[in-house]
Amino acid sequence: MGWLRCLNTPITNWAGRRVWIVGASSGIGAALAAELNARGARLALSARSGGRLKELAAGFDGVLVLPLDVTDPGAFTLAMLQILDAWGGVDVVILSAGTYMPMRAWDLTVDTARQTVHTNLLGVVDGVAAVVPQLLRQRGGAIAIVGGAAGYRGLPEALAYGPSKAALINFAETLYLDLAPRGVSVFLINPGFIRSPQRVACMDFEMPALVAAPVAARSILRGMSRGVFEIHFPQRFPFLLKLLRWLPYRMYFRVAARSRMLKRDA
């Protein structure tokens, strides 16, 4: 039956597969790079920190190191040209670059909000625009977008971060509608809290169901092997936020107001 088919083409064998990871210097991106290298993928790694990328790639074989800033117009196009020159094509593009700055209403500044939205949302849009023409020419391939469970519903301290992730969810859904009929897979990755030095330093509240980056990487690849559209983990936290999407505002605001995050003084 058609509705039981996989939404995406399952990826079960990574040996020799050409994979470009953007946001590969830390967190999920770095963990995916290590896991995919172990599985025999050919890797191109991008992030702002060229030094960190070189350290990561030093333990791998035949890696393309392509530093770029996702907020720099034209950076994706230049990197894509380098990949095409080296490989002649690309099979999977994973867009995991992102930034988080805790923000409450009394902390809101336009500059910080713009930086968050530019990095988390427009950086992904630029990346997709650079790779889609090649994937369509190949009549195949996959794009994986790292969104976040914070995009399911408004959360404390996520005044700019949450909307950027909510927009990514909508963007990925719309992208799937356009590309799936043309043979290009679109994966949406919505993680909960990931253990990383940057995230722990920014958040001064308890993070439920905290997941280590290597565990997150394996969860992502497991989801891609099943050909699902949305990959979310750990199961408990994103599932809870999904349930909260069904609550009317009166009930949701009451639940959210009881959280430890909102009880802290301004």
Please check whether residue 151 is in contact with residue 169, taking contact to mean a CB–CB distance below 8 angstroms.
yes
Residue type, 187: F
Give Cα 252 to chain centroid, integer Å. 26
Residue from 255, 238, 240 nearest 169 by CA = 238
Give Cα 3 to chain centroid, integer Å. 26
Residue type, 33: A
Is residue 176 among the annotated active site residues?
no
CA–CA dist 128, 84 (Å, integer):
15
CA–CA dist 223, 175 (Å, integer):
18
Write down the catalytic residue from 100, 152, 161, 176.
161
User: Which DSSP symbol is given to 92?
Assistant: E
* Residues in Cβ contact with 165 at an 8 Å cutoff, skipping those fewer than 6 apart: 120, 147, 148, 149, 150, 151, 158, 190
DSSP secondary structure, 10-59, as one string = -----TT-EEEEES-SSHHHHHHHHHHHHTT-EEEEE-S-HHHHHHHHTT
Catalytic residues: 161
